[in-house]
DNA sequence: TCAAAAGTGTTCTCCCTACACCCATGG
DNA sequence: CCATGGGTGTAGGGAGAACACTTTTGA
C-alpha cells in the first residue's frame, strides 16, 4: 500500500474527537446531530467530530470540527470522557475523546451546507451511529452533575434572559420542578445576576425583568471558596 | 526502517494510560510514584502507566499496568481526563488517558522488583516527569469534587476503621477541619456504616468502636435519589 | 490526679420549603 | 372581572455549627 506513509513499530489506534452540542429551546434540552453521508452508519445520525491532527491538541481539534460543522466560534466546551472499546468503530481501532458544548441556539448559523445538521429534543433522539447513544448518556450525566454547582446554564441562554427562562432551563436539565419564588430568591441570593433596566413581555401577560450573568461576581465567589448549589 | 511494520495513511498518535494511585497513611494523602529507569526523564519520578494494546480498552490497559507494577488486583479505578498537548512527550506524539486509583496501602505488595516504587506524601512530591505535575493537580481536583458526594473514601481505608480515621481521611483530602461530634453525627445519619461489635485502641488512650462501609444501604440511598454531601 | 481521646447531648442560627398574597395585563 | 403570570413576604421545620459534658484510659 503505497499510500500508507506513516509507519510505527507498534500498532497505533486512530484518535478522534466527538462533540455533544447542547442547546435549549425554552422548554427542552436539545442536541445537534449530523446525518452521516458516508459508510459506516451511512444515513444514521451522529455527533459532529473527526480525527485529531498530529500537531493539535484534542481540544483544538474539537473546536476546529465544531467550527467547520456549525460555524460556532469560541464555544463553551468541556472534555468529559474518552471512549476506547475495541470495535466501537468497524473500520479500524478508534478511540474518541468526547466533549460537550453549551451553545445559545441563536448563535448557530449552520455550517457548510454539505453536512445536514438538525436539532433534536432529548426525547426525540433516534438511535445513533457508533456508540454515540452511550456517549450521549454519559454527557447528560456529566452536564447534570456539573450544573448543580457551576453556573454553566447561562451558556445555553441569550445574554439577557428572564428569571422564568432560567428556571425552565434548570428544570429541563435536572428534570425537577422548582417553586417559582424560592428559585428566584436562591438565585438572586448568590449575587451572580445583574438586574437590567430593560424588561420584556415573554408571555402575552405581564412584563418581566431581564437579567444577565455577572461573571465577575461569580469569580469573586469562587475565589472566596463559596459554592453555589442547585 | 524494517521494524516499522504498522503503517497508516495518516499519522497516528501513540496512546497510553497513566494512573495516579492514592493511598492514606492515617494523616496525609499519598501517591505512589515510580522512578524512571529509561530516557526520557531518566531518574525522575512518574506515575505508573504504559501504552495501550491494540485489542484492549484503555481501562483494561490501565488495570493491567497497575497490576504489573503494584500487584493490585481489582482496584477502584476511575478515568478522569485525557491529556493531549503536542510535545508532552519528547519521543513522539503521545496522548494519555489518565485514571486515578484509590487503594488501601496494606494491599499494595509492590510489583516486580525491577521498578522502584515509593509512596510520597502530597507535600513531598518532587517535580515529576512529562506533564505529570499537571496530571496530579487535575486528579486531586477531581478526587476532591468526587468525595463531596460519593463515599469513595472508604476505598482508601481498611475494611474496619474508626470514626476518627474516617474523619482524618476526609480532612486530609478536603484540607478542612471538622468538628468531631458533628462529623460522626452526620456520617451516621446517612446510614451507610455498619457499627461492628469489635473495637480497637487506635491511640494509647480510650478504645474506639469499629465501623465498616455498608454498600447495600448506600445503593438503596442512591436508588431513592438521596445524595450524601460532605 | 491530670491530660487526651471517645462518645453524646444541647442550643442557636440560618436556610430551605411551602404557601399565601398582591400587582399587572389581556381577554 | 377573571385567568394567567410576575414579584414578594411569611411561618415552620430541619440540618449544621459551636460547644459543653461525661467516661475511659495511660502516664
B129 assigned to some structural domain: yes
Residues of A in contact with B4 (CB under 8 A): 7-9
Clarify whether residues A167 and A135 are in a common domain. Answer: no
| Domain C-terminal end among A146, A179, A200 | A146
Q: Is residue A185 located within the same domain as residue A118?
A: no
How far apart, in whole angstroms, are the C-alpha atoms of residue A219 and residue A47?
Answer: 32
Task: Check residue A107 and give its pLDDT.
Answer: 82
Domain assignment present for residue A153? The answer is no
Task: For residue A42, give the DSSP letter.
Answer: T
Based on the fold, state whether residues B104 and B203 are members of the same structural domain. Answer: no
3-class SS of residue A11:
coil
Residue range A174-200, pLDDT digits in tens? 999 999 999 999 999 999 999 999 888
Q: With 60 as the cut, is the pLDDT of residue B1 above it?
A: no
- pLDDT > 70? residue B33: yes
Nucleotide nearest to B202 (CA to C1'): C5
Strand D nucleotides with an atom less than 7 Å from a protein beta carbon? 3-10, 15-20, 23-27
CA distance A106 to chain B (A): 31
The C-alpha atoms of residue A177 and residue A184 are separated, in whole angstroms, by 13
Do A192 and A219 lie in one domain? The reply is yes
CATH number of the domain encompassing residue A212: 1.10.10.10
Q: Per the domain annotation, does B50 fall within a domain? A: yes
CATH of the domain at B64: 3.90.79.10
Whether residues B134 and B37 share a domain: the answer is: yes
pLDDT value for B112: 59
The pTM (predicted TM-score) of the whole model is: 0.94
pLDDT at B64: 96
Distance (Å) from CA A91 to C1' D19? 67
**Residue A12: strand, helix, or coil:** coil
Local structure of residue A28 (DSSP, 8 states) = S
Residue from B97, B99, B103, B119 nearest B35 by CA? B119
Of A4, A11, A57, the CB nearest to B84: A57
State the pLDDT confidence band at B111, using cuts at 50, 70 and 90: low
The nucleotide closest to A205 (CA, C1' atoms): C25
Number of separate domains in chain B: 2
Q: Are residues B129 and B167 in the same domain?
A: no
Q: Which three cell numbers stand for residue A26?
A: 425554552
Q: Write the pLDDT tens digit of every residue in B197-222.
A: 998 888 778 899 999 999 999 999 88
Decide if A12 and B12 are in contact by the 8 Å CB cutoff: yes
Does residue B84 have a cis peptide bond before it, meaning omega lies within 30 degrees of 0?
no
Cα–Cα distance for residue pair B209/B5, rounded to 1 Å: 62
Lowest mean pLDDT among A225-229, B156-160, B163-167: A225-229
Same domain, A89 and A136: yes
Give the pLDDT of residue B106: 85
Say if residue B104 is in the same domain as residue B208.
Answer: no
Q: B54 pLDDT exceeds 90?
A: yes
Same domain, A166 and A108: no
Query: Residue B154's CB: how many other CB atoms inside 10 A?
Result: 23
Task: Kindly give the parts of chain A with pLDDT less than 70.
Answer: 1-2, 110-115
User: What pLDDT score was predicted for residue B107?
Assistant: 82
Q: Are residues A120 and A35 in the same domain?
A: yes
Average pLDDT over residues B150-169: 96
Q: Average per-residue pLDDT in chain B?
A: 93
Tens-digit pLDDT profile for residues B55-103: 999 999 999 999 988 888 999 999 999 999 999 999 999 999 999 999 9
SS3 (DSSP) at B81:
strand
| For range B26-41, the mean pLDDT | 94
The pLDDT value recorded for residue A91 is 94
Q: How many Å does it take to go from CA B168 to C1' C9?
A: 23
User: Strands, E, within A25-138: which ranges?
Assistant: 29-35, 45-46, 49-51, 76-83, 94-102, 116-121
> Quick check: is A3 in a domain?
no
**Containing structural domain, residue B45:** 14-146
Amino acid at each position: 500500500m503505497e499510500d500508507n506513509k506513516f509507519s510505527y513499530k507498534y500498532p497505533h489506534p486512530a484518535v478522534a474527537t466527538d462533540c455533544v452540542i447542547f442547546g435549549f429551546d425554552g422548554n427542552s434540552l436539545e442536541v445537534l446531530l449530523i446525518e452521516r453521508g458516508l459508510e459506516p452508519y451511512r444515513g444514521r445520525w451522529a455527533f459532529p467530530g473527526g480525527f485529531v491532527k498530529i500537531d493539535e491538541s484534542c481540544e483544538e481539534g474539537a473546536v476546529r470540527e465544531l467550527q467547520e460543522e456549525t460555524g460556532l466560534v469560541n464555544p463553551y466546551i468541556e472534555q468529559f470522557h474518552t471512549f476506547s472499546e475495541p470495535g466501537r468503530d468497524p473500520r479500524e481501532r478508534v478511540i474518541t475523546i468526547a466533549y460537550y458544548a453549551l451553545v445559545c441556539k441563536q448563535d448557530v448559523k449552520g455550517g457548510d451546507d454539505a453536512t445536514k445538521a438538525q436539532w433534536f429534543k432529548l426525547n426525540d433522539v433516534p438511535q445513533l451511529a457508533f456508540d454515540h447513544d452511550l456517549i450521549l448518556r454519559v454527557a447528560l450525566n456529566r452536564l447534570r452533575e456539573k450544573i448543580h454547582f457551576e453556573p454553566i446554564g447561562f451558556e445555553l441562554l441569550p445574554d439577557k434572559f428572564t428569571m422564568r427562562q432560567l428556571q425552565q432551563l434548570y428544570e429541563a436539565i435536572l428534570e425537577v420542578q422548582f417553586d417559582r419564588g424560592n428559585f428566584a430568591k436562591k438565585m438572586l441570593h448568590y449575587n451572580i445576576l445583574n438586574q437590567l433596566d430593560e424588561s420584556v413581555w415573554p408571555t402575552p401577560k405581564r412584563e418581566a425583568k431581564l437579567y444577565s450573568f455577572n461573571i465577575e461576581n461569580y469569580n469573586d465567589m469562587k475565589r472566596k471558596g463559596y459554592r453555589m448549589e442547585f
